[in-house]
């Protein structure tokens, strides 16, 4: 019985490792933004905070570099300090080293549009749907919406 349990654990571990390696290789590449939705942690209301057609790209390299840039639909060219401050609230950008663990992409942020993210680990659960990559954060205060607690739900399409 003990031998069977040990053998089962070895098989499960081998399968899990192979599945994780496959996911890591699927995440590598260039991705075009499809949507960004914030889900309020209290009301569960979903809002496309950057518009229905935001623009952005994400790059995940085989060597472990993550770079994401997301901008809102319809951004204008700022000419005043107030407009520049608003422009900062209509984007998200960060980069760092990433790893894949337990069906999550975890990025250790080295540089970001908002300094409060630098040094943090941004954790995103992931799932694939054909050529789409869906990422979802745990509930967290978001700097672009005055610290309101939301889940960030982002969908990316693989670029050819």
**Res 143: pLDDT:** 77
First-to-final CA distance of the chain: 50
Residue 121 is part of a domain; what is its CATH number?
A: 2.40.128.490
Residues 6+ apart with CB under 8 A from 53: 73
Q: What is the mean pLDDT of residues 2-26?
A: 64
**Res 147: pLDDT:** 80
**Among 15-29, 35-49, 88-102, 105-119, which is the least confidently predicted range?**
15-29
Cβ(54)–Cβ(32) below 8 Å:
no
Range of the domain at 135: 2-158
Query: For residue range 49-104, what is the model confidence (pLDDT) as tens digits?
Result: 899 999 999 999 999 999 999 999 999 999 999 999 989 989 999 999 999 999 99
Backbone φ and ψ of 19, nearest 5°: -65, -40
Query: For residue range 123-153, what is the model confidence (pLDDT) as tens digits?
Result: 999 999 999 999 999 998 887 787 889 999 9
Q: What is the 3-state secondary structure (H, E, C) of 40-90?
A: ECCCCCEECCCCCCCEEEEEECCCCEEEEEEECCCCCCCCCHHHHHHHHCC
Total domains, the chain? 1
Residues 6+ apart with CB under 8 A from 76: 83
**Res 2: pLDDT:** 63
**Res 98: pLDDT:** 98
**Res 12: pLDDT:** 47
């Amino acid at each position: 019985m003990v031998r069977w349990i040990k053998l089962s654990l070895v098989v499960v571990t081998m399968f899990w490792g192979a599945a994780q390696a496959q996911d890591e290789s699927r995440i590598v590449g260039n991705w075009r933004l499809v949507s960004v939705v914030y889900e309020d942690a209290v009301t569960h209301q979903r809002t496309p905070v950057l518009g229905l057609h935001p623009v952005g790209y994400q790059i995940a390299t085989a060597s472990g570099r993550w770079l994401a840039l997301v901008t809102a639909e319809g951004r204008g060219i700022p000419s005043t300090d107030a407009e520049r401050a608003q422009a900062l609230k209509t984007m998200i950008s960060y980069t760092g080293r990433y790893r894949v663990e337990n069906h999550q992409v975890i990025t250790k942020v080295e540089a970001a549009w908002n300094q409060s993210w630098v040094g943090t680990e941004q954790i995103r659960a992931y799932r694939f749907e054909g050529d789409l990559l869906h990422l979802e954060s745990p509930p967290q205060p978001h700097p672009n919406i005055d610290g309101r607690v939301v889940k960030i739900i982002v969908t990316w399409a693989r670029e050819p």
